[in-house]
Amino acid sequence: MSLGDWLHEGTSDPREVADRYDAWAQSYDADLASWSYRAPAVVAETVVTRRPGADSALDVGCGTGLVGRALRARGFSGQILGLDISQASLQIAEQGGAYDSLERADLQQPLAVEDESVDAVVCAGVMTYLPDVEEVWREFARVVRPGGLVVVTQRDDLWDTRRCRAVVDRLQTQGVWTTLDISGPAPYLPEGYGGTPEVGCYYLTALIS
């Protein structure tokens, strides 16, 4: 199976995801640039404009560090913590110098992060591999301080099939967060996965109660 087909399929097997991204790590940044990947810049802009005083951000599924570098480029001076399942990707993220802490983690498991310990959680290009949307988003909300942000992307074809809007609304009804913005379908990978059709996404921004 080609890389593009595998990415579109979006397996949720952690070991397979780790192996694929370990093998892809060295060319990942160049490939994403060639596909006009837009999410890191959009997510970083959202954090610095919506929460300008944030002292810390947790990048869930940080990969090679594209979001962390985008945050630094936008002037974010707080701590940036990164979690990812791919050790090879984490090594490249460390070389980029944007992160204060990087750890390997299976993101389908509870995060090894204390309650209400960061000002923002960002998660770009990762929800494809995390099928239990509600459990994951509740976990994101758990680790963010009141008044902080959760900023995530979800591929547009999965937004409906995984009932993401219902999850957003349920978390709001239960007082977990207040939805600030849902944008989409929005440009995400205009070039597709290197030859596949264009891929769009939804951007979700929520304020933690």
pLDDT in tens, 30-48: 999 999 999 999 999 999 9
pLDDT at residue 12 greater than cutoff 90: no
Dump strand ranges (E) for the chain.
56-60, 79-84, 101-104, 118-123, 144-155, 177-189, 199-208
**pLDDT of amino acid 142:** 98
Res. 10: pLDDT tops 80: no
- The CA distance from 72 to 78, in Å, is 9
Q: What is the pLDDT of residue 1?
A: 61
Q: How confident is the model at residue 4 (pLDDT cuts 50, 70, 90)?
A: low
- Helix (H), strand (E) at residue 144: strand 144-155
Interstrand relation of 199-208 and 144-155 (parallel, antiparallel or unpaired) = antiparallel
Nearest to 200 by CA among 168, 157, 165: 157
* Total domains, the chain: 1
Residue 60 has pLDDT above 80, yes or no: yes
Q: Residue 11 belongs to a domain with what CATH number?
A: 3.40.50.150
Average pLDDT over residues 160-188: 97
Q: Which DSSP helix (H) or strand (E) runs through 181?
A: strand 177-189
The predicted structure's pLDDT at residue 195: 76
Mean pLDDT computed over every residue of the chain: 95
What is the span of the domain harbouring residue 42? 3-106+114-208
Instruction: Write out pLDDT tens, residues 95-151.
Output: 999 999 999 999 999 999 999 999 999 999 999 999 999 999 999 999 999 999 999
